[in-house]
Chains A and B, each alone.
Chain A
Amino acid sequence: MAKHVKIACVCGSGTVSSSMAAAKLRDKLKEHGYDVEAVECSPISASTTLGAGGFSLIACVSPLNEDFGVPKVNAVGLLTGMGEDKVYEECLKILDAEK
């Protein structure tokens, strides 16, 4: 059975680019046995979103300087297609380590 994981996707408006990244993460990580619950937020609403707890990682499309004690992955590669595999690798490394 797919393992349920929560991922926060951060972009400037907390909507457009984070939704793009979230869609890709959901599809790709599903192939690796993860049922991704993606929550989109902006750097401003990040503390509220992450305050809910239970997040495995933060996928950042815009820079997020604060440290929430949750591993951060630079997810810009999902949008540009350059270094896309590296983004998945980093995410999987974090998620697989949780098992």
Chain B
Amino acid sequence: MANIHEELILVDVEAENYEEVIRKVGKTLFDNGYVKDTYIDAVVGREAEFPTGLHLDGIDIAMPHTAGVHVNIPAVCVAKLAKPVVFSHMGDPDTKVDATLIFMMAIKNPDEQIDTLQAVMGVFTNKEAIAELNAAKTKDELFSVAKKYIK
């Protein structure tokens, strides 16, 4: 099942803080019917308690998500921010990352979507993929890179 959709690829997302990022990117998932109206608040709440920022080799990212009950259709929303936004690190909330790329995960059942999770994780650990994601400037470019690595 394809989890990357053109309508879920965003570039130049303007936001001042992580909550604004989640609300803006989450709205795209909601407006397109992928998640329920409870999703955005649930993700914001979870991010405050258990942050999802990650410092990767070559880029800082965040992968906000929440429980499957808030999801209609599994998908991954890939968003490039207009400027870096501070997220706390997943492994240590006292560490901050300057995220420029967001993988907002709408996962309904992790066991069934394990291929998607592994594909996303494969991107995190793939230097070439990170370089291509960094280089992608337009929506078309970001869509083709995301499609290439997350099937």
Contact = CB atoms under 8 A, between A and B. Distances in A.
Interface residues of B, number: 31
B125 A23 contact: no
Contact of A79 (B50, B66, B68, B124): B124
A81 B91 contact: no
B46 interface: yes
B117 A23 contact: yes
Contacts of A11: 50, 90
A29 B93 CA distance: 28
Interface of B: 46, 49-52, 54-57, 63, 65-68, 89-93, 105, 107, 110-111, 114, 117-118, 120-121, 124-126
Contact of A63 (B92, B107, B110): B92
B4 to A, nearest CB: 17
Nearest to A76: B91
Q: Which of B50, B52, B67, B89 has the most CB of A within 10 A?
A: B50
A13 B57 contact: no
Interface in A48-85: 60-63, 74, 76, 78-82, 84
Minimum-distance CB pairs A-B, first 5 = A12-B50, A81-B125, A76-B91, A19-B110, A15-B110
A15 B118 contact: no
A38 to B, nearest CB: 11
A78 B89 CA distance: 14
